[in-house]
Structure 1
Amino acid sequence: MTAPTQAPAAAPQTNAHIDPAAQVTGAGFVPVQTRSERPRSFDPEDFGAPTGREVNWKHTPVAQLKALFETSPVNDGVETTVSHTQYVRPALAHGAAPRGEFFTPEDIVSAVAWQGASDALHLSIPADEEVTEPIVVQIDGKGGRADAHLVIEAGRHSVSTVVLRHTGTAQYAQNVEIIVRDGAKLKLVTVQQWEDDAIHASAHQARVDRDAELTHIVVSLGGGIVRVNPNLELAGTGSEGYLYGLSFADSGQHLESQVYLHHKGAHTTGDVLYKGALNGASAHSVWIGDVLIGRDAVGTDSYEANRNLVLTEGARADSIPNLEIETGDIAGAGHASATGRFDDEQLFYLQARGITEDEARRLVVFGFLTEVIQRIGIPSVQDELLAAVEAELAAVDPQAVLGDREAAQ
């Protein structure tokens, strides 16, 4: 295995910083065509500070993330507690398995988090054990900087749910390494309910082994800049991956997810659904979805979709789906993206049944967003998030919500 503090052997050997949008060759700059070709490294210096022109940073306010481009000399920005301490194993230093079993940073912030987190929190679910209650990892921001690496390991044929809950404020660079062993079922829910000035950039990398299943859910409601990028590899035959997300961006918020689903094993199943709502001037959401069906991934069934509801003027949603297929022997594959205004026909339908206009608008938006929450399958978490969405909607001025007809005028 490559030493964890060194760049992997596959990293390009050049005198220039790694640009994820291009590789340096004798012929000049050759654009990287797919997500899988992006260089990786454990060393932040191999990436260099982003300029905003790189393919994986072009939609991100990089200037406001500058604090996360260097390791923190004092790593005390957050306080972490775990609800079920019996699943906490000794912290993992660099080079201690299973840390780094397959995780390799894809950008400078992830490399910073790797180097800055000298000890990684290790959650391990024993083989064949079914955990009936969610294991909650509470991450409270204390106002400072923090680098973190979490390893979540689901043993063979285990069943468990882990909830990462982020509150308070911090400048937080985070890696989450997820290993789902043969036959295991893991559900991971990461909830971002930071204060308005928080900055959070997180790289989630997951490997799902033979006949195993991972459901990964991202819910981003709070924070100034929140960037959670899940990378899921369906490595084993018959493995399944379900990637769901929900965001509600208010004025001044930037909420982002760059999703990568790699079908590597045969007869794998993948489903991606992210939904977002935006309210207020300068509200901004970014979703980039990359699906790669590899040459050995025969019998694959995969679909990804992103839906965005822009409620007011001045809000912006960037949505970019990408699908790459390297084998012709698949069960099915597709992708879709839609960004639009409030549906006037739905509003008319509800008003025709005696519901007031303001309540009808609230119901339509609420119904649009709750589809993702209902897939969590944990009543206590669902109730809490539904209440949080209700609170977001309560702050929306119904008269400022633009419908399709108004937007066309």
Structure 2
Amino acid sequence: MRVFKFGGASVKDAEAVRNVVKVLQEVGHEDTFVVISAMGKTTNAMEKVVAAYFNDKSVLTAAIQEVVEYHENILADLFDEKNHPVHSRVKLLFEEVKGFLAWNKSPKYAFVYDQVVGYGELVSTTIISEYLNEVEIPNVWQDVRSLIKTDNNYRDATVNWERTQSEVSAKVDMSKLNISQGFLASDDNNFTTTLGREGSDYTAAILAYCLNANSVTIWKDVPGVLNADPRNFEETQLLDKISYREAIELAFYGASVIHPKTLQPLQRKEIPLHVKSFINPKGKGTTVCKGVGISPEVPCFIVKKDQVLLKLSSLDFSFIVENNISDIFKLFHDHRMKVDLIQNSAISFSVCLDNKFNGLQPMLNELQKRFKVVCHEDVSLYTIRHFDDNAVKSLQNGRSVLVEQRGKETVQLVVK
């Protein structure tokens, strides 16, 4: 029993959808649960719909129509019949989006976000499930919201493992090919929740855990896990094997190939994770499994851009100690700021933060009442695992280093 996950790049247009079929035909689709993301950049487009709803309703209709037309073009390319049932199914999903936005009374951005943005996955899986039937690969379309149950922490929900296990065991027939959505779940009131941006990998891991799968395969547009993101670094090298522990370290520091939460459920049941290319399905890819370190052992480069560096110091030269730090971290939690690096001395405290929920300004207003605050926005946090001197020098070259921190295996640089 296997779980496959196809990301947005692998289903970005009609030709990409046909390629997914080709991959399934090449590697087999028996006893397989397939998790699929929204097509291409649809999640970004749906985020614009939410932004228009809150900030400028005059462009709301146009924002929705842009998403509708994108999918209509894919449908026209994949299905010859204009009266094929898939058209009405997709139209109904978009009518649900419009209906929700018309009757919604909640002012909470995160709640509205989750009810709207997830339709990208619902539409993509509907199209692909219908197309698979069209090419005589019978399958069962599953609504993942009826399988994965969470709390109501919208945009970053926590899985209720006991209820999820119960739902998956009752509703999934693994003798059939199952098609379902990544990223989505639901709370006790059956409102849609999401597992965090790029959460489709996590979806695959949750389902693999509950199904006692033999493996998970994430299909990407790269040959496997590389020692650096080729979009940010010129020279990269394929990693053949990575231990769970090492992969969790890389994910924690921000490696984009594997979602940070994905590895924990897999490690608990020692389910191997394969990262392979949907362009070359028979390529060896990368395997994450039980073992030691990485192979080959080379420096691994990770960059997080658009970060915020805060330098806090006491107004009266008193020490910044436990009670101060506790208060500071409560503010980080309250304003949903993710901490990526910490460095402190007796009277100062530096921290690199991810401001993905836009809580920076209100948090600064509170911090400035108690501390002297220096704020550097739009900085980049570079992390090198298994660093050597040449690797560090390659990052320092021509950059202004604001903070440097070294451990036994890891060096981190905050640069402007």
TM range (shorter): under 0.3
* Max Rg structure: 2
Higher relative contact order, structure no. (Cα contacts within 8 Å, ≥ 6 residues apart):
2
Q: TM-score of the superposition, structure 1-length normalised? A: 0.27
Q: TM-score of the superposition, structure 2-length normalised? A: 0.26
